[in-house]
Structure 1
Amino acid sequence: MNILLTGGTGYIASHTAVVLIKEGHKVVLFDNLANSDISVLDRLEKILNKKISFIEGDVLDSELLSKTLKEHKIDAVIHFAGLKAVGESVENPLHYYENNVGGSISLIKAMQKNGIKKIVFSSSCTVYGEPQYLPLDESHPTNPINPYGFTKLFAENILHDLSISDPTWSIAVLRYFNPVGAHESGLIGESPKGIPNNLMPFIAKVATGELKSLKVFGNDYKTRDGTCERDYIHVMDLAEGHLAGLNFLEDHKGWYAINLGTGQSTTVLELLQAFEKINHVKIPYEIVGRRKGDAPACYAKPSYANKILDWKTKRSIELMCESSWKWESSHSI
């Protein structure tokens, strides 16, 4: 298939591009480079030993999207493009609604114009809000607690309503848990601009000395060691989940919401200790007060994805830590 990846030079999209191309698909990367770097393209081409099509553009530009879809004879879209920092979404909600919801509408219109009705949407477990029970399955109520989560849920709902209005659409909404790690080559990985919002890249930057120490927000939760528990999934497992999602849509119409996680929880301190052990580094940290909006625990029930996508995670916490350090230590030199 010819597949368009919006936000194509971003963290998860770039790893998914590797998996898709190795499977024989042709990909076109579409990105405005607001949260990524054009150097990712060169690194991808080095990993894959082939040229990759890239279009610099914004998903709010529906005309450019339509032109791209037509010229590259696109069969399916994976929609990664969007802003994703929870704190930033609270500070600037309008920017998030414009980009994440408006961008999704712009893309869908371009797809409709070109008769393309197959899409995998990059969503998030943040649509569930505070867990009412664990592990989280797809039947859990959706009740986001921040603008970022609402933008993901609104985009999900738009796609759901679209599938009802036109049953010929094939839509997979993939609700990610906590993607970490990097490609085994060390050539691509998570590279947030500024101070990282996510735990793993923050740990890695402390390990390189770029940041002084890790702040652990609270150690008095009712968890194994008092720190928050999360479901960390290796980015390559997640990338393979997108391939599985596309394969599923080949012979399924309608709208499907699917959790992508391991089903295992890891605390902040457990992740930190695993990183230290596997990479033989020391991570200075300090315990500070709880952070507003942090749930004590959040992890997936991935059985639905295991069943309908024939997909399971394969990579360990240790490999997540090892690959993250290989990426961080090589590109930060």
Structure 2
Amino acid sequence: MIQSSAKAFKSYPGYKAFTIETILLDKPLGFTLYIDNGEKLIKYVHAEGMLQTDTKERLIQNDVDHFYIATGDSHVFDNYMIDNLCTVLNTPGMSKSEKSAIIYSSAIHVMQDMFESDISASKIMRVKELMHETIKRVISSEVTAASLLQLSTHDYKTYSHCVNVALYAIGIGHEYGLNEEELHTIASGAILHDVGKCRIDNCIINKPAKLTLEEFETIKDHPEHSHSILLENGETNPNILEIVLMHHEKLDGSGYTKGLGKNDISFGTQIVTVADIFDALTSNRSYKNAASFFVSLKTMKVQMKTQLNLELIDALIKMMGRA
């Protein structure tokens, strides 16, 4: 569930807290709002109601700055937040940390829903719209890619990995001064780069040990699966399609699926490859602990120096210093 702020509120089992600023005024909710009276939670706005301007002002005057919802309404609340993301982010006085939490949690929710239910053209479009809104906020300096990534738990799940890779890619591209359209193409390819893993047996994807050679060969099919899924859902941007198909290619020709060399791998794909590897190295897996940022960067710059664009790794280092 989306939690819009890192601020700590009193905990009630079966309920989630969030700042009052994330609720739009005079707009139907679809979920019940509760407030804390000091001893227990009481219903304040019913699901069919709305939060009115004078009601909010009265609450703030009485030092009520947050609501609760039942965890059973989490999915409805998350969809409400995503549908109104732009409006919520434009709330006066909202801090960078609050905006970062809303954006990051929204992206996690959309990708988790995609992997755990089904992939459709409408969900892909929603992901792209979310990336577009994220990039606008990064360009305007309301948030940074690093401030968004600070919210990662570094526990590897395919959906969270896709979100992290997209954010690293946005940050690297922004360091290079790429324009909004270029960043959107790269971010779209990055967040969708692993959707093909939904066509691979979960026993392989989630195996708590090193893969066998046969299992690894199966995993190596996922870029082509990702490419096919996007085509099936109407993707026509050749640069996005190239990123999802080629994100495991290496500059020295040692990658897959086609063993391409430096001259055949686009700059956008090279960015996503660096982002992909860095997030994988710095994430906890069932069979290995996450490496530190320093160790991961050293691994990439020393052991993988012929495979990766080293200038992009330098851009990654600069980006991570802008939290």
TM-score normalised according to structure 1 size:
0.30
Is the helix fraction higher in 1 or 2? 2
Larger Rg: 2
TM-score normalised according to structure 2 size:
0.31
Is the strand fraction higher in 1 or 2? 1
